[in-house]
Chain A
Amino acid sequence: MKSIDCIICPKSCRIQVRGSLRPGKKPEVSGQECSKGKKYAISEICDPRRIFTSTVAVRNGEIKLVPVRTSKPIRKAEWKSGRDIIRGLNIAAPIGFGKVLIKDFTEKGIKLIAAREVKAF
């Protein structure tokens, strides 16, 4: 049995997962208050992921940094490579809200997007 503390919402349900997680098998999941919890608990064991957020340097902008996020959670172990990718970046303003800054971030299909609008200076 594995015990997982859910991070989807502040309730932080403690979820128990019993049985095999191999494809085709149905593990027994208990303790969650919603279906998102069940999905999270299984993914946390098989393929743990987190939304990655940081900031990227802006040139010619009214502010110096634009906050960024990934469109989907990235592999938990890949936060360092995510950080290394954005470290060298320098994006010219204007930057629209939700603009895709990198199309395939740590893996194909996961975008890095601007979480704030930055007007040109």
Chain B
Amino acid sequence: MEKRSNNSNYDIAIIGAGPAGLAAAVGAHEAGAGSILIIDREKYPGGILQQCIHPGFGLIRFKEELTGPEYAHAYIEMAKKKNIDLLLDTFVYSISEDKNILISNASDGLKNIEAGAVVMAMGCREGTRGSIFIPGFRPAGIFTAGTAQRLINIDGLMVGKKIVILGSGDIGLIMARRCTIEDAKVEAVVEKMPYPGGLNKNIVQCIDDFNIPLLLSHTVTFIDGKERIRGVEIAGVGSNGEILDSKRKYIECDTLLLSIGLIPENELSRGAGIPLDPITGGPYIDNMMHTEKQGFFAGGNVVQVYDLVDYVSEDSYTAGFNAGLYIQDKLDMKGDKIIIESGRYIRSIAPGILRIGGQTPAKDQKPVLSIRVEKPLMDSIRLSLSSGNNIIANMRRPYAVPSEMIRLDLSKYTAKLAGKKKIRIDIEEIH
């Protein structure tokens, strides 16, 4: 992996050197692409993994529990062994429909890079106070959980001493533990839903281990403090989302962390004319991780927010691999285009389009869907795959929760899917 590059013409350009971009580069190389460039705005590759210093990564991909920087290291080493150019500290302004990439950095100034295929791997960003309109003043001391994570783990700056965290997604839970280890008192993790947003394992090891109060069905209703935040008012949330005045309470704090959801970062995709799915916030994508714009592929959190980096790597490898085939005119895009519709209890499905040529899917046509449910379904469930009134397949799962994507491999059913225009996936509870 080269640090600099004077080249301005590449087979494949990958936007983002996080887990998605690195895996895509490995995939593109293994598919036989000639010249591959990864561009990233940070000084180091690895993306968000570098600030995720906790363990829990790689159990599926590497069969061992790694920290974020260790997982990143594994992929950086893989990319280093291949002939992949890396342009760091570089901002991408725009990508045109014909794949001209306008970049800038300190040594090149403004520069245009041409690519034969592009893999979008920009990841996601966090929701902010503005996304949920918390009333009150606008003092210092309000951070997104990921910003706080970066300040603490990369920059060595502590964010505060008395902390309230709004949102119980995994980043919020991880930061509750991290702040406690760094001597802050986490007064409460406040969650508007009646169930936690993050994985149960994180409730155990981040919340229960440190006796941090987790207030479910509560939200922050007011931010107090003129210069620095002085406290927050919280209130109960009823079953229809209404604020319960009887449960209003003031909590003193000097810091409020927000862990209220992640948004795929697709300004560049929009600029390139890639159609976006309003539900996932990412590009419409098929099982080859090809977008609806010829020659543009996408992988990782830019497509949909994943809960495990292992799956980000897997799907982004596919994106890169197929970009590599595409550039050599080897990608079979003639298969039937099948639209996947979401039924009951399903919040999102990606890919939302299947394109299956032969009867046995090739390595590059892996028909694996990621399905996210909209609420916890704790009894057994049945997933059914149907076309019109015909049930193609039924699959059982012991449970489904919003914090864990269901990975559904349709390889076995591809013969039955041939010729279909639309299929539907439904979930039923089995009592």
Q: Is B205 an interface residue (CB 8 A)?
A: yes
A56-79 vs B: 1/0 string, CB under 8 Å? 010000011101110000001001
User: Which of B50, B181, B308 neighbours the largest number of chain A CB atoms within 10 Å of its CB?
Assistant: B181
CB-CB contacts below 8 Å: A64-98 with B? 64-65, 67-69, 76, 79, 83, 97
Point out the residue from B73, B152, B404 that lies within 8 Å of A117, measured CB to CB. B73
List of B residues within 8 angstroms of A67 by Cβ: 50, 53, 67-69, 153
A31-61 vs B: 1/0 string, CB under 8 Å? 0000000000000000000110111010000
Q: How far apart are A20's CB and chain B's nearest CB, in angstroms?
A: 24
Q: Are B181 and A83 in contact (CB under 8 A)?
A: yes
Q: Are B67 and A69 in contact (CB under 8 A)?
A: yes
Known contacts A10-B307, A10-B308, A115-B69; A50 and B209 CB within 8 A of each other: yes
The CA of A9 and the CA of B181, in the complex, are separated in Å by: 22
List of B residues within 8 angstroms of A54 by Cβ: 53, 181
Q: Are B69 and A5 in contact (CB under 8 A)?
A: no
Q: Are A50 and B67 in contact (CB under 8 A)?
A: no
Known contacts A10-B404, A53-B67; A5 and B201 CB within 8 A of each other: yes
Q: Is B336 an interface residue (CB 8 A)?
A: no
Q: Are B200 and A12 in contact (CB under 8 A)?
A: yes
Q: Is B59 an interface residue (CB 8 A)?
A: yes
CB-CB contacts below 8 Å: B137-172 with A? 152-156
Q: How far apart are A62's CB and chain B's nearest CB, in angstroms?
A: 8
Q: Are B154 and A6 in contact (CB under 8 A)?
A: no
| Cβ-closest chain B residue relative to A14 | B200
Q: Is A7 an interface residue (CB 8 A)?
A: yes
List of B residues within 8 angstroms of A99 by Cβ: none
Known contacts A50-B209, A117-B73; A10 and B199 CB within 8 A of each other: yes
CB-defined A-B contacts under 8 Å, sample of 14: A5-B203, A8-B201, A9-B201, A10-B199, A53-B55, A54-B53, A57-B156, A63-B44, A64-B154, A65-B156, A67-B67, A69-B53, A69-B67, A117-B73
Q: Which residue numbers of A lie inside 8 Å of B, CB to CB?
A: 5-12, 50-51, 53-55, 57, 63-65, 67-69, 76, 79, 83, 97, 115-117
**A55-B53, A65-B153, A116-B70 known, 9 other contacts, Cβ within 8 Å:** A5-B203, A7-B205, A10-B201, A53-B53, A55-B153, A64-B154, A64-B155, A64-B156, A97-B73
